[in-house]
Each structure stands twice: as C-alpha cells, then as structure tokens.
Chains A and B, each alone.
Chain A
C-alpha cells in the first residue's frame, strides 16, 4: 500500500468516525458565508444589518423559505437564498438558532425610547414587553439594531411589496414616522 492509498484509507476511516462532526463542519462551511454581512455567530456590528444568531429556528427557516419562494419581499436576500437548497436552509436555521442572542451595543435617544415604550404597548401581545417574546417563534427585537428595525418597517408600510404578516402590516401602517423611529429605538435600547 502506497502513501497515497494509506492516506485515503486514513481519511475514509476518519470520515466514518467523524460523520456527525463532518455534517456540522458542512453547515459551518455554509454558515461562514453569512458572516460577511451578519457577523460571526450571527452577531452583526453594522447597524443596518440584523443580528441573526439566537433567533428562533422556525422564524429563520420560514423567512428564508419565503424569500426563496418570493412570497416575502427582500431587497437582497431573495437573490442569495435561491442559491441554497431547502435542506441547507433548514441546517442554517438550526445552526444560527443555537447561537446566543447578543444584543447590540448602541446609543439610543431617551426621549424616543420613552415614546417607543408607550407605542409598543400594543405590540407586547406578540413581541413581549421588551421585544423578547421567548415563544420560540417570534424574532427577538430586544437589542436588535435600531436602523435595521426602521428599515424593516419601510417594507411593512409600503403596500407595493409582498409581506406575509397582515397584522404586522396594519400595525406598522398605523404609526407616524416619528413613532416608527421611537419603536425602533425602544427595542434597540432593551440591550442589557
């Protein structure tokens, strides 16, 4: 047996022993392609980009599949997720949901936060008082980036784009522009 064959044998033995580790490696190799925009472990340091580490698995999976199917509007993500199989999407949702949720360190305006606290009373039913619903389905808003939240509201407020959640759409459209800002600042400030 030559060195090459011995290497192959060793590699295939390792592969057998490390089957599950390899499956994890495979997901990791995919997940690191998300880091450029969403940060390592899904912890974003760019205010317009959401942190995704620690978001509920079902939320991540659904939103990715909706973008892929075109039933939910996105500016960029739809073109990206079309390059991933449904299985890869499911694996990525599991991968990022297992990461800890790290609220972003950001400055907020106390006046807007106070207004946001009042306005979000009507959101608490679904999103929890601090934006941390904890129901395993609703995305964490506590300590999410304010700029991202504000940009996301733009989508819900514009009827020309497809957004699947009618309740969210109605709620977002009722708000004034200042209130949208206030809601974003309030949730962003819940980062302790």
Chain B
C-alpha cells in the first residue's frame, strides 16, 4: 500500500473540506422537516450528509450503534497485511460538525404508522421521513453447526469488518506451511459479490510473500459463477499458480454443515478439513428491516427503483446492502459501498423533493467496485443505471469489467490497484467528513 497514513488522510480532509458546501437550490431552503437515518455505514452516513448539504435547514438525526465505523471495502487487504485496519476506521465527528444529530444507540423498533423510532436507551424519535440503512444480518442457522458465538470467537466470518478481521488475520499468520485455508460462500445475493474471491487472493498473496508455498486456499461455493471470475482466475494463474481452488455449487461446493472442533466443512457429498475455516454465512437485510416488515420473502427490502422509497411503507427509504434494487438476477444493483452511496444520494434528493411537494429528481446511479488480487494488481466492475420512461435501466453500453487481455496489462492492473485506495479515501470522506 502507498505511504498515506490515517493522519495524512485527516489532514487532507481538513484542508479540502472547509470550502465544500453544495450550492443550495432556493426551492429547498424552507423545509424544517425531521429526517431520521437508521444505520451509519456508507449508505446511512452518505444519506445524512447529503440531506444536510442539500437542505441545511432540515433536522437530520443519524442513529448508529457503534462509535466507530470500520470500512468493509479494503478489509480483505488487512487480513493479508497489505493494509492497516486503522486506515479503515472513522467516527461520526465530521457529521456532527455539519449539524447532524448523531445518536449512538440501537434502534429497537420502527412504527411506520405513528412515524416513530424507538431506541434501546429509552428515547423515541419522530420523523417526517426515515432512511433505513441497516446493512445485513447473518443467518447463522443457514450453516448447521455455525453460531454467532463461534463467529465471535474461533471461527470469524469477518464479513463485517472489525475485530473478526483481525482474528482471521492472526489465524492466517499462525497457519503452518502446507495448511488449508477454506472460505465458504453462501448462495447469492450476498454483500460485496467479489469479496470472497478477493479474500482468497489476499490470503494467497500472504502465503506467497511469506514463503508458505505448500499451503492451499479452497473456496467452497454454493454458486456456479462469481463476480469478475475471468479477472480473478487470470490473476490466480499468474500470481499464485496451483494455490487457489474454487469448487462450484454444481461440483458439490455448497457447505451445509461444519464441525467447529475439527474445522471440517461438509457439503452434500463431501467433507473438507481446514486449518483455518472461514465461514461466510448466508445473510439478509439488517434485522430491523425485517422487524419493520420492509422485507420480501427472500429477506431483502423491495424499493421504488427510481427513488429508493420502500415498496411497503410510505415515507421510508431503504438504501445499501439491505435493499434489492434492479432486475434480478442479471441487472440488479450489486451490494457494494459505492452502490449504497449512490442510492443514498438519490434517496436524499427524493426525500427533499417529497417534503417540498415536488416531483422526485431524475435519478442516476453509478457503481465502481475495485478488487485487489495481488500487490499492484487491481481491477474493477462498473455499473450505470438511469431512468428511461419511468423505469430503471441498466446502461449496457457503459460499465462492465476491466479488460482481461489488453496490451499494457501491468499498467492497467497497477492503475486500478492504486485507484482502489484513492477511491476508499474519497468515498469515506464523501460519507463521513
């Protein structure tokens, strides 16, 4: 990683942002409505910030459980030692300074009829508009033998960055040469579609760098294909030949049960013994979304594609990993930080328009998702969605994955590996500064 520390980042933000105030359209100025945002990840933080920036007189409250947020993007790089978790942590001081009420508490209930939000601390907040951005909750029962307690102790999923990321890193470091690192992947949709495969790459990168060349990485997958597959497989072949093995669902890759004591993963017909067993359990919309009745029968929140307003309850907007946005399976928006951010901005515009009795502005959604497969070896996928005749359309002429074969391959991959890091600094600042 480049020599750009957390302190440099804070300095850069301080230098960049005093001047950063969006021009305020006069039509937006009158509202003193109350907007509550549930969840302070990329989706919620971005929504809070843009609501306040677009309409400074709005009363915006952000409710978040934790004092510090840890970015999931670039957290696989912490496992390998390529990055530092400190660079992924950020607090809510920037949002407070903007005049957003940041409440560190847990939401226990949402009443869509009374338009209130109950907090564990005992308070109740009323809202005119509510943004729900709770991320994901894990369905531990989806893998027999796996539990929340195991995830927080010996068998971290590390699919929410934080303490579990560091436990998994330690387990990798302690793994003897010749050991097997198993990653299990649930049936999609899941958050960060290329995440498990980037993680496998980062683990292999660590093994290569530390001369543990007899070790293997096995991906046991419930699915038959994956995001940026060609790009990952090319990288694996070039950088870690014969280290990473991907077992598809069709090849009996679907893990149904584990034995935590022996670290064995069981598929329908087979068993795989691991030295490090990294179970990524199936997940669905954050629990509060389900408890509020915002979810469909698959556990995800359906929304109006153009505004992000819930298809179930009026005056509630759902953004980020918890919603299903776009046509499944091919043209649905991926569950990425960038998508959460772009959805949050669209929701902010739609909320302000609705509060002012105006039609929602025309939405435009952009997603850029980088993966780093080896040092200076990165690639991306780009998605663009826009409105056409009142419908959300995936723009097929644009977007797509990085070229697999290109005359200046090393330059292409180096640029995107570095862009991933610059992207992270900017998207974090865009949400939290």
Residue of A11, A25, A43, A49 near B423 (CB, 8 A) is A49
Chain A residues with CB under 8 Å of B363's CB are 29
The answer for the CA separation of A26 and B359 in the assembled complex, in Å, is: 13
Binary per-residue interface labels of chain B (364-386) against chain A in the complex, 1 for a CB within 8 Å, 0 otherwise: 11101000000000001010101
The reply to whether A83 and B366 form a contact with Cβ atoms under 8 Å apart is yes
Is A123 on the interface with B (CB-CB < 8 A)? no
The reply to whether B422 and A80 form a contact with Cβ atoms under 8 Å apart is no
The answer for the CA separation of A44 and B414 in the assembled complex, in Å, is: 19
Binary per-residue interface labels of chain B (343-366) against chain A in the complex, 1 for a CB within 8 Å, 0 otherwise: 001000100000001110111111
Cross-chain pair count, CB within 8 angstroms? 185
- Of B23-31, B131-139, B159-167, B172-180, the one contacting chain A is B23-31
Which residues of B from 8 to 31 have beta carbons under 8 Å from A?
A: 8-9, 11-17, 19-20, 22-23, 25-27
Is B418 on the interface with A (CB-CB < 8 A)? yes
With a 10 A CB-CB cut-off, give which of A10, A75, A80 has the most chain B CB atoms: A75
Is A105 on the interface with B (CB-CB < 8 A)? yes
The reply to whether B426 and A83 form a contact with Cβ atoms under 8 Å apart is no
Task: Tell me, rounded to whole Å, the shortest Cβ–Cβ distance linking A189 to chain B.
Answer: 14
Residue of B12, B23, B400 near A45 (CB, 8 A) is B12
The reply to whether A47 and B398 form a contact with Cβ atoms under 8 Å apart is no
Is A57 on the interface with B (CB-CB < 8 A)? no
User: For chain A, which range describes its interface: under 10, 10 to 19, 20 to 34, or 35 or more residues?
Assistant: 35 or more
The reply to whether A147 and B2 form a contact with Cβ atoms under 8 Å apart is yes
Is A37 on the interface with B (CB-CB < 8 A)? yes
With a 10 A CB-CB cut-off, give which of A18, A30, A38, A47 has the most chain B CB atoms: A47
| Contact A43:B338 (CB < 8 A) given known A26-B361, A32-B345, A83-B384 | no
The reply to whether A75 and B419 form a contact with Cβ atoms under 8 Å apart is yes
The reply to whether A11 and B358 form a contact with Cβ atoms under 8 Å apart is yes
Chain B contributes a number of interface residues (CB within 8 A of A) equal to 64
Is A82 on the interface with B (CB-CB < 8 A)? yes
**8 A-B pairs with the lowest CB-CB distances in the bound complex, closest first:** A46-B422, A83-B384, A83-B398, A48-B422, A46-B425, A160-B407, A49-B422, A82-B398
- For the A-B complex with A11-B359, A102-B16, A154-B415 known, give 8 more contacts whose Cβ atoms are closer than 8 Å: A37-B423, A45-B433, A46-B422, A75-B402, A75-B412, A82-B397, A83-B398, A102-B15
B residues adjacent to A (C-beta < 8 A): 2, 4, 8-9, 11-17, 19-20, 22-23, 25-27, 50, 53, 338, 341-342, 345, 349, 357-359, 361-366, 368, 380, 382, 384, 386, 395, 397-400, 402, 407-408, 411-412, 414-416, 418-419, 421-427, 429-430, 433
A residues adjacent to B (C-beta < 8 A): 7, 10-11, 14-15, 18, 21-22, 24-26, 28-30, 32-33, 35-41, 43-49, 73, 75-76, 79-84, 100, 102, 104-107, 145, 147-148, 151, 154-155, 158, 160-161
